A and B are shown apart, each in its own frame.
Chain A
Amino acid sequence: MCSRLTGMAMLMIFGLTGTQPARAEYGINFPPPAADVAQEIYDIHMLTMQISTFLLLVVFSIVIYSIYFHRKSRGYKADQHFHNTWFGNWSWVIVPALVLGVDLTIAHNADAVLKKIWDVPKGEKLMDVKVTGHQWWWEFDYLDHGIKVESRYIPKEQSGDLYLREVDNRLVLPTNTKIRFLHTSADVLHAFWVPELAFKKDAIPGYVTETWSELNREGVFRGQCAELCGTWHSRMPIVVESVSPEKFQAWVEKQQALKVAAAEEASADRTWSRNELISKGKELYNTKCGACHQANGMGLPPAFPPLNGSPLVSGPIEAHLDIVINGKPGTAMQAWSSLNDLEIASIVTYERNAWDNNTGDVVQPADVKKAR
């Protein structure tokens, strides 16, 4: 107990003096920037913080001096005419002028930084990454490479100390490349925030906002969704893996190969066995559907209905496929038409056979194709 208290006291002292704490995970300031843009932001943050701290010290000193010396118990007599001295008569000009000076200093510096970082550089070739927020996962489309990464949080059992800061598929980005991020959302507002990249941008359904950055070092940078997006807002981590352009190229080629293989598998004109579909479906269900409908199929009523024992899931296959493919307007249930036929077939087969749903139905990719 005693050592813990000492630890906390030390922590507060480190916090106040700004020295590097012994344990790096006690963050008290922004993490070291990983991009020039972020460095600019870091510097303006430090500048305004120093100006603020200085002004705070001035105010505190004057107030504490006054409290100590100008008190009745010390026999101090109130100066009834202080407000009518030249200082009293002109302070309404002097004080705003001084404050305006400070304001202009801050605004001038901030404006210079803003001009550098705000607009995406014109007339240059940038790598485009479309960032789409979903309830509650991120979708990253590498528009120049034709690949897509779906990024979801990893449950505590598997992620341990990195819980809520680790994802299944990271956003891999090359260093020394100007990247344009295009932010949008499939459902409600989200916001992309990785402190090392130092910007935050809202993802707004129906609109596209842009930001840009150029990573200047390799590393793994972690952030989170910053705009309240409903039930599992806390479970939308973002992990950026910054690698050299060569490694990035290799990664891209691997992803493209995987995509081709998956497409071939899905379009292969074959019939899948029930067990194959269920095992594929279980994995897909847990990553894509489990956040809302839960791994045990019980959902989180009333927002997210249970699938276990659901009349829809045990009813006609067509209705079940329809809601998966087209979603349910006005609710959090989105359209999953971007999944391929095999994936939808597996998920639907799994749902119809999992938990207490013993329909015994098998849905083949061909059925999904028909239903689209």
Chain B
Amino acid sequence: MSYTTTVNDPAHHDHTPTGWRRWLLSTNHKDIGTLYLLFALAMLFMGGASAMLIRAELFQPGIQLLDPDLYNNLVTNHALLMIFGAVMPAAAGLANWMIPLMIGAPDMALPRMNNLSFWILPAAGTMLILSFVVPFFPGGGTQINTGWTLYPPLSVQVGMSMDFLIFAIHLLGISSVLASINIIVTLLNMRAPGMTIMKMPIFCWTWLVTAFLLILVVPVLAGGVTMLLFDRHFGTSFFDAAGGGDPVLFQHLFWFFGHPEVYVLLLPSIGVLSHVIPTFARKPLFGYKSMVGAMIAVGTIGMVVWAHHQYTIGMSLGAVTYFMVGTIIISIPVGLMIFNFIATMWRGAMTFETPMLFAVAIILMFTFGGLSGVMLAVVPADMQYHDSMFVVAHFHYVLMPGAVFGLFAGVFYWLPKWTGHMYDERLAKIFFWINVIGFNLTFFPQHFLGLAGMPRRIIDYNVMFTEFNAISSIGAMIFGFSHLLFLYIIIKTIRGGEPATSRVWEGAKGLEWEVASPPPFHTWESPPKIGKEVA
């Protein structure tokens, strides 16, 4: 089953562009994937730096490093950089790199649009950073002190930096929607002959669901922030009760996007896990069909439970009961996914290379975050948890393992394929342990802070919260700086290392492992034949 002979046929491709043209004008899914990943890496460090400044300020009670508006500005920027700058582009980078390789397609279906959807991002990123920086210049107005949720009326008070942010969100949204369209078209039309949709690798499935979610919800956010822009500048009153509007309307629009967004961040990583765990357990994924079903169920139910982010706005009993039950029901498909992962490990012949270490950490810690999510879904109890540090702890336990660690697992899993070099396993394991311990040290104590009564998004707190905040901040420094090691490992692997075989991992299965490591510039120019063994 050697397909590599056809792809390496020199007659087929002789035009590998070089220099800046290769990147700026690229229509090659691998190069665009690399660009996405590098962009995400840069944003990860910026978002991480803002988080570390936040935690440094919270190390002790009192106001030492920042002023309140700068603190709130960092809170806003941390979220936006991480969500829109780091996690989503990183997941899109994995999709670009891997989807054509996995389904035996020569490239994405719409290569020029692929170029566009990436190159919008640096512009959007610049706008986002400007929104942070502008207030420091004379006449720049006030800083964005609203948090990433941008709730009016506070967001109407903010100066011109809010306008930069609104346009940054528009650009980021356009980029995501274009990338999603591309992925859907690719997945539905470009699969190798014989690869039916129920034989498609799970990572592709997760992206198919994710892409549909993005197309459905991103325009709603774009509409919401556009209404905000109109309220700010053009005298409308969508969110102003004095003009007949309703501030809560924005919250509904925001969370109609914001809750599915959680699954947008989560699902690609679930897809990565569905490849990592079978590879290192050396047996097929347990429950392929139930995995697909669970994913679709999560996407569908996830669209209709958004108001559990707003239990305190004064909804009727009927409404909160509906949102509570709907939210709790999400535990069924998510529980099934976790169960399938554990059952894949069960009776496997496991080895624990770095991607597998991350996978196990995700199963344990994401379960923890999911269970605190069930607690939060319970309306009466949420009357206490809402907007406290407990919520901060919860969503970091969901998004850090669920999204970021999944991406780390994916990077380590596929890095040898991308670069042709094995990464330094010893260093990567050190990175894993520092990272995971730092993470838990940072966020575990925040549960206690929240229950004891510390609200989120405050710059200064009473002495009763000192101890746990100090532990959390120490953890955050360990966690934050550990990513320098991550960067070092990546650079080291790109520069050289033990050559990787095309299979890379003993238990790896799937078309992406049939091409050389690193893959040639063009792959699958003639489609592979899919036998029974691939699915």
Contact = CB atoms under 8 A, between A and B. Distances in A.
Interface in A166-210: 183, 187-189, 191, 193, 195, 198-202, 204-207, 209-210
Contact of A222 (B367, B387, B453): B453
B371 A55 contact: yes
Contact of B374 (A52, A91, A209): A52
A218 interface: no
B430 interface: no
Interface in B19-40: none
Contacts of A26: 464, 467-468
Interface stretch (A77-85, A275-283, A348-356): A77-85
B60 interface: no
B480 interface: no
Contact of B241 (A31, A205, A330): A205
A214 B287 CA distance: 51
Nearest to B141: A302
Contact of A189 (B135, B153, B282, B363): B153
28 contacts: A8-B467, A15-B448, A30-B452, A41-B381, A59-B363, A71-B350, A80-B283, A82-B283, A82-B343, A82-B347, A92-B287, A92-B290, A99-B335, A103-B328, A114-B320, A161-B462, A189-B151, A201-B312, A202-B312, A202-B314, A205-B247, A207-B247, A209-B314, A210-B314, A234-B460, A303-B69, A331-B157, A332-B157
A25 interface: yes
Interface string B465-483: 0011001000000000000
B154 A189 contact: yes
A72 interface: yes
A220 to B, nearest CB: 14
B314 A52 contact: no
Interface string B325-343: 1001101110110111011
B220 interface: no
B282 to A, nearest CB: 4
A110 interface: yes
A60 interface: yes
B388 interface: yes
B198 interface: no
A118 B382 CA distance: 12
A172 B365 CA distance: 43
A207 B383 contact: no
A253 interface: no
A233 B339 CA distance: 42
Given A115-B317, A165-B462, A302 B350 contact: no
Interface string A37-54: 000110011001101110
Interface in A76-107: 76-80, 82-83, 88, 91-92, 95-96, 99-100, 102-103, 106-107
Contacts of A331: 157
Given A41-B380, A113-B380, A206-B241, A78 B154 contact: no
A231 B459 CA distance: 9
Contact of A78 (B151, B342, B349, B363): B349
Contacts of B384: 30, 41, 45, 195, 198-200
Interface stretch (B1-9, B48-56, B142-150, B186-194): B142-150
A51 B371 CA distance: 9
A56 B367 contact: yes
A117 B342 CA distance: 39
A83 B247 contact: no
Interface string B285-302: 111011001000000000
A225 interface: yes
B196 interface: no
A332 B68 CA distance: 16
Nearest to B470: A8
Contact of A228 (B154, B241, B348): B154
A195 B329 CA distance: 28
B131 interface: no
Given A44-B380, A195-B384, A199-B383, A231 B350 contact: no
B464 A110 contact: no
Given A207-B248, A224-B458, A230-B145, 5 more contacts: A8-B467, A83-B285, A161-B462, A161-B463, A233-B457
B230 interface: no
Nearest to B280: A72
A1 interface: no
Contacts of A103: 328-329, 331-332, 374
B460 A231 contact: no
A232 B381 contact: no
B375 A49 contact: yes
Interface of B: 61-62, 67-69, 72, 135, 140-142, 145-147, 149, 151, 153-154, 156-157, 159, 240-242, 246-248, 281-287, 289-290, 293, 312-314, 317, 320-321, 324-325, 328-329, 331-333, 335-336, 338-340, 342-352, 360, 363-364, 367-368, 371-372, 374-375, 378-381, 383-384, 386-388, 445, 448, 451-464, 467-468, 471
B464 A25 contact: yes
Given A103-B328, A189-B153, A204-B248, A110 B284 contact: no
A226 B157 CA distance: 19
Interface stretch (A61-69, A121-129, A143-151): A61-69
Contacts of B364: 59-60, 63
Given A114-B320, A118-B320, A229-B154, A67 B448 contact: no
Interface of A: 8, 11, 15, 25-31, 40-41, 44-45, 48-49, 51-53, 55-56, 59-60, 62-63, 66-67, 70-73, 76-80, 82-83, 88, 91-92, 95-96, 99-100, 102-103, 106-107, 110-111, 113-115, 117-119, 156, 161-165, 183, 187-189, 191, 193, 195, 198-202, 204-207, 209-210, 222-235, 300, 302-303, 330-332
A207 B351 contact: no
Contacts of A207: 241, 246-248, 314
A154 B302 CA distance: 44
A79 to B, nearest CB: 4
B286 A82 contact: yes
A332 B154 CA distance: 9
A176 B69 CA distance: 42
A164 to B, nearest CB: 5
A273 to B, nearest CB: 38
A72 B247 contact: no
Contacts of B451: 27-30
Given A62-B342, A91-B339, A206 B324 contact: no
Contacts of B314: 183, 201-202, 204, 207, 209-210
A72 B507 CA distance: 12
A244 B173 CA distance: 57
Contacts of A164: 460-462
B349 A41 contact: no
B290 A59 contact: no
A82 B247 CA distance: 53
- In order of increasing CB-CB distance, the 5 nearest A-B pairs are A206-B241, A27-B452, A209-B314, A92-B290, A234-B458
A100 B329 CA distance: 7
Nearest to A55: B371
A163 B467 contact: no
A15 B331 CA distance: 26
Contacts of B458: 224, 233-234
A317 B83 CA distance: 51
Contacts of B346: 62, 66, 70, 82
A28 B283 contact: no
B80 to A, nearest CB: 15
B97 to A, nearest CB: 28
